[in-house]
Amino acid sequence: MNIDADQAAGLCLVEKNGTVATVTLNRPDARNALNIPLLRQLAAALDEARAHGADVLVLRAEGTAFCAGADIRTDDGTAIGQPGLRRRLIEQVCDLIESFPASVAAVQGPAVGGGWALATAATVILAAPEAAFRFPELRLGFLPPDATVRRLRDCAGPSLAFRLLAADERFTADDLARLGLVEVVAAPDLDSRARHLADQFAAAPPDLLHHLRTALTT
């Protein structure tokens, strides 16, 4: 797969090994907060990876945070609480992550709001012990993406999903592991474990992976 030089050096990095694509959020100085340029690059990277034959995705991030959520300092001009460009792009990115027959999110630090939504779109979430998860959206006046609400409902049940999404409560990796939502992996082993698991998924026929995921989520 040919990666544009500007993209490879920019906010979103892409590496392809066989049918496994590793996509890295690369805005560590801003804790990988989701501004419009990052979201556009991320959507393009995911779309290109699928178009070039990637069936399995590893989603990871540089720095100490997986993703601090939407970057409201670079607002798109739409008031918080209304459908805007940033929200549409987050939903598009979540849909693209879910388009892979299998995907692994490697969460090494905080995953807040839209960052947790991206991780939730993956088939499996691996989390370092230092990872932390929080949804502040309702207190900011808007809802998380519909797909995120559905996935947490399916994984955790309506009552627990409501608490996860509405309480603006910080959950540790161990908290979510006890609920069966993540697997805790020692930080030095996080990337290697994610890539190993992705390789295991890639050994199966992609059409069967797709049918299995569909059967489990419908």
Model pLDDT for residues 83-140, shown as the tens digit of each residue: 478 888 999 999 999 999 999 999 999 999 999 999 999 999 999 999 999 999 888 8
Task: Name every residue whose Cβ is closer than 8 Å to that of residue 127 and which is 6 or more positions away in sequence.
Answer: 107, 108, 173, 176, 177, 182, 183, 184, 185
Q: Which of 137, 152, 45 is nearest to 99 (CA)?
A: 45
Place of tokens 């839209």: 114
The domain 5-217 belongs to what CATH superfamily? 2-enoyl-CoA Hydratase; Chain A, domain 1 (3.90.226.10)
Model pLDDT for residues 26-64, shown as the tens digit of each residue: 999 999 999 889 999 999 999 999 999 999 999 999 999
CA-CA distances (angstroms) from residue 217 to 101, 121, 153, 158, 201? 12, 12, 11, 15, 17
Q: Give the start-to-end residue ranges of the domains of the chain.
A: 5-217
Residues across the chain: 218
Dist. CA 126–CA 119, nearest whole Å = 9
pTM of the model: 0.90
Contact 131, 156 (CB under 8 A): no
